[in-house]
Amino acid sequence: MSLFRKKSLDLLMAQGADSDKGLKRTLGVGNLIALGIGAIIGAGLFVRTAAAAGQHAGPAVTLSFIVAAIGCAFAGLCYAEFASMIPIAGSAYTYAYATMGELVAWIIGWALILEYALGAATVSIAWSEFLNKLLLQFNLGSIPYEWSHSPFEKALDTANVMHHGIVNLPALLILLILSLLLIKGTSESAFVNGIIVFIKVAIVLMFIFIGWKYINPANHTPYLIPENAPPATLPDGTQYSYTNFFRHGWGGVLTGAGIVFFAFIGFDAVSTAAQEAKNPKRDMPIGILGSLVICTILYILFSYVLTGVAPYTDFVKAGKEASVSYAIDTYMHIGWLGKAVTIAILAGFSSVILVMLMGQSRVFYTMATDGLLPKVFSALHPKFRTPYKSNMILFVFVGLFAAFIPGSVAGDLTSIGTLFAFVLVSAGVWIMRVNDPGRARPFRTPLVPLVPILGIIVCTAMIVSLDNQTLLTAFGWMVLGLLVYFGYSKKNSKLQKP
């Protein structure tokens, strides 16, 4: 049979019909928006804002966020049409199966592992680092280096003694807790996610409201970095020049948009929960686009306050994890707020891991239901009706990576899977409009084919801009995926045996 055999929409709809054997429909529109915010607001807000402002956009990083949000909106509108039209777990994988065929669906399902599973592992490693920072801020000591780093990492302490990592236990712990929560139930997971989202959004709003009165108007003048701006001093004492086209003016704003774009990634995870939404035709578009709008507003306000409190040149030397704490300690002198920001980052990481693990298990569930993966991934708990075996296997796979591999290894691989999904979903909406124009669409993407084309262009440009090593690694991952497909999935596909 053809490699591009498609799964009919009627078959998909029948598969998604609620039954005692399927996933439980427990999520309302509020839960879906919270899932989106939970996946979007991680440390990206605290880290990438300062990096983009200090090196490229200056105070106009607010405009960078608007440009990046528009780029995400193209893909978000396409996701919203598909999610309302095909309310099935599996997200981009399912949409590709219905529009471009099995091989393309397999490739995107395989790519989503980079976004969800690898993303969860990478974020859990960062969670471990920030847990240590929080313990130190509250003078509670710290977890020994050996038990919070991988065997491939080593560092000198203040006494010049070399320490070698053994295993990253905090990363394993958070993965275990969240995996058990997901096994217990989707509604319970959504409830806990809602609490975490409330905490981190409250702290972000706290920083905005308290920081507003510390804004120095001089820091916002000029708003765009001028070409003749004086250089900033790097941590090693060298000078950082702004004369390059992409380090000032609108060139800097556009480059800044590329940096902060990845702070938006995650809203697509909402679509993986379509089969667990109570009223997916109405609620899925609201959940996807609503979370994107709320996060965009928070990002713009946050970046406006941050660049008003501290001059953008300061973030060249404090443009990473410490940037927000640096601004608070140096210009606001509110110690407890710095601790609250660390708590917000930890909360942000926790909800991102939770939604990523949930998204991956739902993609695997759908792929296994289609016969492309072993049945174990589609086995539902007899009481909780969650893909518990998939969650357990994912914990082992993701946990091994988090416990024994340095976080830096992942690089931009997490993002490439997302961007690839965005490209195919944008293309899929256009293809479906041509091939099946009469199909009922509770939500319609406006200006088709313009919006899908712009989504494809923006996301492809982001992929091309990634470094060659990342692209080569992703290519190797895809080759491995094709070997799995032709070795197992193709002959076990349900469409092979209709």
Question: Given this model, what pLDDT does residue 190 score?
Answer: 86
Question: Given this model, what pLDDT does residue 494 score?
Answer: 86
Mean pLDDT of 277-306: 92
Mean pLDDT of 71-82: 90
pLDDT digits (tens, 9 = 90+) for 412-443: 677 788 888 888 899 999 998 998 888 888 99
Comparing CA positions, the residue from 269, 310, 12 lying closest to residue 123 is 269
Mean pLDDT of 134-152: 87
pLDDT at 364 over 60: yes
Confidence label for 348 from pLDDT (cuts 50, 70 and 90)? confident
3-state secondary structure the chain: CCCCCCCCHHHHHHHHCCCCCCCCCCECHHHHHHHHHHHHCCCHHHHHHHHHHHHHHHHHHHHHHHHHHHHHHHHHHHHHHHHHHCCCCCCHHHHHHHHCCHHHHHHHHHHHHHHHHHHHHHHHHHHHHHHHHHHHHCCCCCCCHHHECCCCCEEECCCCCEEECCCEHHHHHHHHHHHHHHHHCHHHHHHHHHHHHHHHHHHHHHHHHHHHCCCCHHHHCCCCCCCCCCCEECCCCCEECCCCHHHCHHHHHHHHHHHHHHHCCCHHHHHHHHHHECCHHHHHHHHHHHHHHHHHHHHHHHHHHHHHHCCHHHHHCCCCCCHHHHHHHHHHCCHHHHHHHHHHHHHHHHHHHHHHHHHHHHHHHHHHHCCCCCHHHHCCCCCCCCCHHHHHHHHHHHHHHHHHCCHHHCCCHHHHHHHHHHHHHHHHHHHHHHHCCCCCCCCCCCCCCHHHHHHHHHHHHHHHCCCHHHHHHHHHHHHHHHHHHHHHHHHHCHHHCC
Which residue type does 63 have?
A: L
Of residues 157 and 333, more confidently modeled: 333
285 Cα distance to chain centroid: 18
Mean pLDDT of the chain: 87
Question: Given this model, what pLDDT does residue 222 score?
Answer: 93
The packing angle between helices 388-404 and 169-184, to 10°, is 170
Question: Given this model, what pLDDT does residue 411 score?
Answer: 52
Confidence label for 444 from pLDDT (cuts 50, 70 and 90)? very high
Mean pLDDT of 236-245: 85
pLDDT at 404 over 60: yes
pLDDT at 16 over 70: no
pLDDT at 160 over 80: no
**What are the chain's domains?**
9-493 (1.20.1740.10)
pLDDT at 2 over 80: no
Of residues 486 and 45, more confidently modeled: 486
The region of weakest confidence among 270-284, 288-302, 470-484 is: 270-284
Q: What is the CA radius of gyration of the chain?
A: 23
pLDDT at 482 over 90: yes
CA distance linking residue 327 with residue 311, whole number of Å:
9
Of residues 10 and 403, more confidently modeled: 403
pLDDT digits (tens, 9 = 90+) for 17-73: 655 566 777 888 989 999 889 888 876 787 788 888 998 999 999 999 998 898 889
pLDDT digits (tens, 9 = 90+) for 182-227: 998 878 888 898 999 999 999 999 999 999 999 999 999 999 999 9
Question: Given this model, what pLDDT does residue 11 score?
Answer: 73
Question: Given this model, what pLDDT does residue 106 score?
Answer: 93
Q: Sign of the C-alpha dihedral, residues 283, 284, 289, 292?
A: positive
Question: Given this model, what pLDDT does residue 43 score?
Answer: 67
Question: Given this model, what pLDDT does residue 1 score?
Answer: 52
pLDDT at 445 over 90: yes
What percentage of the chain carries pLDDT values higher than 90? 34
